């Protein structure tokens, strides 16, 4: 599933190609995505100019010149890329926005159809709908706020990182990588994380995400950025997807367990559970 670095890469690739363009027409597929399609998109978006393409967590809200928003979520297999209208149409393209003079279009492709595209009258209305579900961006997360949330739960720290209401945008790949960098066992209960541990983990999250964005994200299966190019950070992953391989830091075999419904990778030596700390509930 595309996480924050991948979605940020899509946004950075698409902004210069979309912002300032007028939407000439749109085509919506017959099969629904995660949400049902609106009955008629045409009067809502056709003729409007794209003013901004933002990123919030794993969402891509496209702000139009009347203040309305078309909010995209890539789900598990979503791809947003621009093409010449004459380019062959791939399978599983569910949404197309024809732009400007009609020679280019934005295509949303989603094999598994867990993504979503929705229209909202204003950015504030869209953001309000996510207020309870979406925490701060990792760069805006303070150690104090992080520690306060951790202190209220017995959930394993890996599960906490996957909770988008705690910190937005972190998913399975970067939760594993951040915990490795912070030297923290993924089953550590949230309330057992110390202040120094919270600060170390917060810094690790920012560091891991920043480096992944610089490498255009990680292509594990079918992710591509807005330009159609794959990511490159997968070659630098320390533990994710490396079950049985030697830890680059200590040589111990990387292990994988099931935690919070997800495969969880860690080094049992570099991320050893401190003495006296009980494992969080799985």
Could you tell me the end-to-end alpha-carbon distance of the chain, in angstroms, rounded to an integer?
A: 21
Q: Is 105 exposed, middle or buried (0-12, 13-18, 19+ CB in 10 A)?
A: buried
Catalytic residue among 98, 200, 242, 262: 262
Distance CA 246, CA 207 (A): 22
Catalytic residue among 55, 56, 58, 202: 58
Q: Are 266 and 176 in contact (CB under 8 A)?
A: yes
Q: Are 79 and 13 in contact (CB under 8 A)?
A: no
Instruction: Verify whether residue 128 is a known catalytic residue.
Output: no
Catalytic residue among 2, 138, 156, 189: 2
Instruction: Verify whether residue 88 is a known catalytic residue.
Output: no
Helix (H, G, I), strand (E, B) or coil at 235: helix
Catalytic residue among 3, 8, 177, 255: 3
Instruction: Verify whether residue 16 is a known catalytic residue.
Output: no
Distance CA 189, CA 197 (A): 12
Q: Are 69 and 120 in contact (CB under 8 A)?
A: yes
57: CB partners within 8 A, 6+ apart: 4, 7, 130, 134, 137, 164, 168, 169
Instruction: Verify whether residue 200 is a known catalytic residue.
Output: no
Where residue 260 falls (left for φ over 0; alpha for ψ -120 to 50; beta otherwise) is left
- Catalytic positions: 2-3, 58, 262
């Amino acid at each position: 599933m595309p996480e924050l670095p991948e979605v940020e890469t899509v946004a950075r690739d698409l902004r210069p190609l979309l912002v300032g363009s007028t939407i000439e027409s749109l085509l919506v597929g017959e099969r629904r995505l995660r949400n049902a399609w609106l009955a008629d998109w045409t009067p809502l978006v056709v003729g409007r100019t794209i003013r901004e393409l933002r990123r919030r967590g794993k969402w891509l809200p496209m702000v139009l010149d009347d203040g309305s928003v078309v909010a995209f979520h890539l789900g598990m297999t979503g791809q947003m890329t621009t093409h010449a209208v004459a380019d062959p149409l791939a399978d599983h393209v569910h949404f197309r926005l024809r732009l400007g003079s009609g020679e280019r279009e934005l295509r949303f492709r989603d094999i598994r159809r867990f993504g979503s595209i929705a229209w909202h009258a204003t950015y504030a209305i869209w953001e309000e709908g996510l207020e309870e579900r979406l925490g701060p961006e990792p760069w805006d997360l303070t150690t104090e706020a992080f520690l306060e949330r951790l202190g209220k739960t017995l959930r394993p720290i890996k599960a906490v990182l996957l909770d988008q209401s705690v910190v937005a945008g972190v998913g399975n790949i970067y939760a594993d990588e951040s915990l490795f960098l912070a030297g923290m066992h993924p089953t550590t209960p949230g309330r057992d994380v110390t202040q120094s541990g919270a600060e170390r983990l917060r810094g690790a999250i920012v560091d891991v995400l920043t480096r992944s964005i610089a490498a255009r994200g990680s292509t594990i299966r079918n992710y591509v950025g807005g330009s159609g190019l794959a990511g490159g950070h997968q070659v630098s992953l320390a533990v994710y997807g490396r079950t049985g391989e030697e830890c680059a830091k200590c040589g111990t075999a990387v292990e994988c367990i099931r935690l919070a419904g997800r495969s969880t990778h860690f080094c049992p030596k570099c991320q050893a559970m401190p003495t006296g700390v009980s494992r969080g509930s799985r």
